[in-house]
Chain A
Amino acid sequence: MSIIETRDLVRDFKKTRAVDRMTFSVEPGESVGYIGANGAGKSTTIKMLTGILKPTSGHVRTCDLDPMRERIGVARRVGVVFGQRSQLWWDLPLRDSFAILAAIHSLGEKEARSRTDVLVEQLEMGPQLATPVRSLSLGQRMRAEIAAALLHSPDLLILDEPTIGLDVLSKQRLREFLVAERRERGTTLLLTTHDMGDIERLCDRVLVVDHGRLAFDGSLTGLAATVGAQRVLVIDLAQPTPDLDDIPRTRLLGSESDGLRQRLAFDSEATTAAAVLAQVSARHEVRDLTIEEPDIEDVVRRIYAASGRA
């Protein structure tokens, strides 16, 4: 049985078609990144998966239930976090939100306590339990939202832009937690994001949606290969150096400050960062380096371009 199954799923708003004949399925335990430009139809799909929006036509099943008819059944088995909306009680201490949600999901007292304790410990929220939700920082609130969505131990966790606006450290902690949660409980994960790091760290499969249509379905490496997205090695050299335009299997993107900093694009399939670095340092003294990963907007743009839309 698939956790998510859609077939020819369509949702029209007044004048626009937000989701256009979407067909895909997600198996238990999978971790799927769902990406696309703003307004491509990501949130609309999620809302149909969870019974918030009624599809215009087509077929959708979540946890083998019809989300519109069996909303409550779906709600018991799915946890959802909308990055822009809160499911916590604004003016109550965080602890109360967990207690209320445990009651709403009819968890037993013992079960509620042990699950809350585990989540609070793993997400390091102990010190915030007595704080009213309105006084939490964004990072703290987002961890609290995720704990709230996982309180009833759902089979499927849906995260809509979970790391939006978070600083690097908060993102890192959140991702580590999600990796651990999936390893322990085998929770299926569906995640929309604008952050390539989220996809790289968390997802083994990527769906790209473009104007409501599925433009790509496959692995992350497959995606990079399809679009030919290149990584960029930025090298700071000890001395002004002539353009490094002859390093095999790389392309010079630019050189700054008389060649003190040079940017080399390369394809992960063709060579590695280490090989490029070795070739450069054989000739010149390298002081520092950074690697720029293909950015998600860029990947999406290329997919769109490949499928004939700009």
Chain B
Amino acid sequence: MLVRAGFRRHSTYRLALLAGMTTNSVFGFIRASILLAALTSANAAIGGYDKPTTIAFVWWGQALLGTVNLWGFSEVKDRVRSGDIAVDFLRPINPQLAYLAGDLGRAAINLLGRGLPALLLGALLFDMAWPPSAASWVVGAVSVALAVVVAFSGNFVINLLAFWLVEIRGITLLWMITGGLLCGLYLPVPWFPDWLRTIAQWSPFPSMLQNPIDILAGRVVGADIASAVAVQLFWATLLIVLGQVVLRAGRRRLEVQGG
């Protein structure tokens, strides 16, 4: 029910979806052109990416950009600051799960209304690699869902810092910039220099985008699929547990004054 509510809340804003889709598509063109040019000048596959895989990387990235909440959200932070978070504690449900359910709904409408149309457009205009097997499709879908969970849970923890800090905009910005780079949105993680790749691999960010894309673009196959999903599962669990701990500590600290 909460998932459906999230879906419906965000489907109310159809114009925003359309605008999002248009932006995603335009940037898809630009990125596809740049990366193709790079591949052409290298005259070979880079880091396991040939041209069709690279195209798939770009367009799946554009499609999942709105689905996975990479840029974060501020609803929880705003509610902590206004004190409205109190209302969440009046419900016989864990607030983290309630918000997660809402985010899954948001992700679903964004995937259907914004991501898949952009992907379709990319597929029509470029020669794109598809998941090599039915298993890749299925595991890919699971991986996308996990990516949504990881991104949500990470951001939820960041939002909760508002219990202690008056202003978390700096931290949010840092999260966005680091995340945007390390999740493999601009460039595939395997193209990174070694040191940066190592950092990325020890962070939760690739689990938010790179892993599902790799599975869906068919770059990662066989046993590697299992380990890609296992890493995502690890981060999802860790961040959810961390969120619970921080939420509990925050509740003890809560000072809702007035009203």
Contacts and interface: CB of A to CB of B under 8 A. Distances in A.
Interface in B66-101: 83-84, 86-87, 89-93, 98
B168 interface: no
Given A43-B259, A47-B256, A91-B9, A85 B87 contact: yes
Contacts, number: 76
B6 to A, nearest CB: 10
Most chain A CB atoms below 10 A, which of B9, B90, B98: B90
B87 A86 contact: yes
Contact of B90 (A75, A92, A103): A75
Given A75-B91, A92-B9, A103-B2, A85 B84 contact: yes
A104 interface: yes
Interface string B236-259: 000000000000000110111111
Interface in A58-101: 71-73, 75-76, 78, 80, 82-87, 89, 91-92, 96, 99-101
A53 interface: yes
A53 B254 contact: yes
Contacts of A104: 1-2, 91-93, 98
A50 B8 CA distance: 30
B5 interface: yes
A52 B256 contact: yes
Given A104-B93, A105-B92, A52 B5 contact: no
Contacts of B84: 85-86
Interface string A8-42: 00000100000000000000000000000001000
A36 B87 CA distance: 23
A13 B90 contact: no
Given A104-B2, A104-B98, A53 B256 contact: yes
A252 B86 CA distance: 49
Contact of B8 (A78, A83, A85, A92): A92
Contacts of A53: 254-256
Contacts of B258: 39, 43
Contact of A87 (B9, B90, B255, B259): B90
Contact of B89 (A51, A86, A160): A51
A275 B83 CA distance: 51
Contacts of B90: 50, 52, 75, 78, 80, 87
A301 interface: no
Given A75-B90, A100-B2, A85 B257 contact: no
B5 A100 contact: yes
A91 B12 contact: yes
A98 to B, nearest CB: 11
Nearest to A76: B92
A99 B1 contact: yes
A54 interface: yes
Interface in B205-222: none
A260 B98 CA distance: 64
A218 B8 CA distance: 49
Nearest to B93: A104
Contacts of B98: 104
A72 to B, nearest CB: 5
Interface of B is mostly: loop
B87 A96 contact: no
Contacts of A86: 84, 87
B83 A85 contact: yes
Interface string B1-22: 1100100110010000000000
For B9, B91, B251, the residue with the greatest tally of chain A CB atoms inside 10 Å of its CB is B91
Given A85-B83, A86-B87, A87-B87, A100 B257 contact: no
Nearest to B9: A91
A99 to B, nearest CB: 7
A76 B256 CA distance: 22
Contacts of B251: 54
Interface string A216-230: 000000000000000
20 contacts: A13-B257, A43-B258, A47-B86, A53-B255, A73-B92, A85-B86, A85-B87, A86-B84, A87-B87, A91-B12, A92-B9, A96-B8, A99-B1, A103-B1, A103-B2, A104-B1, A104-B91, A104-B98, A106-B92, A160-B259
Interface of B: 1-2, 5, 8-9, 12, 83-84, 86-87, 89-93, 98, 251-252, 254-259
Given A75-B90, A99-B1, 17 more contacts: A51-B89, A52-B254, A53-B254, A75-B89, A75-B91, A82-B86, A85-B259, A87-B91, A89-B5, A92-B8, A92-B9, A96-B5, A104-B1, A104-B92, A104-B93, A105-B92, A160-B259
Interface of A: 13, 39, 43-44, 47, 50-54, 71-73, 75-76, 78, 80, 82-87, 89, 91-92, 96, 99-101, 103-106, 132, 160
Sort A-B residue pairs by CB-CB distance and give the 6 closest, nearest first: A103-B1, A84-B259, A75-B92, A72-B92, A76-B92, A52-B86
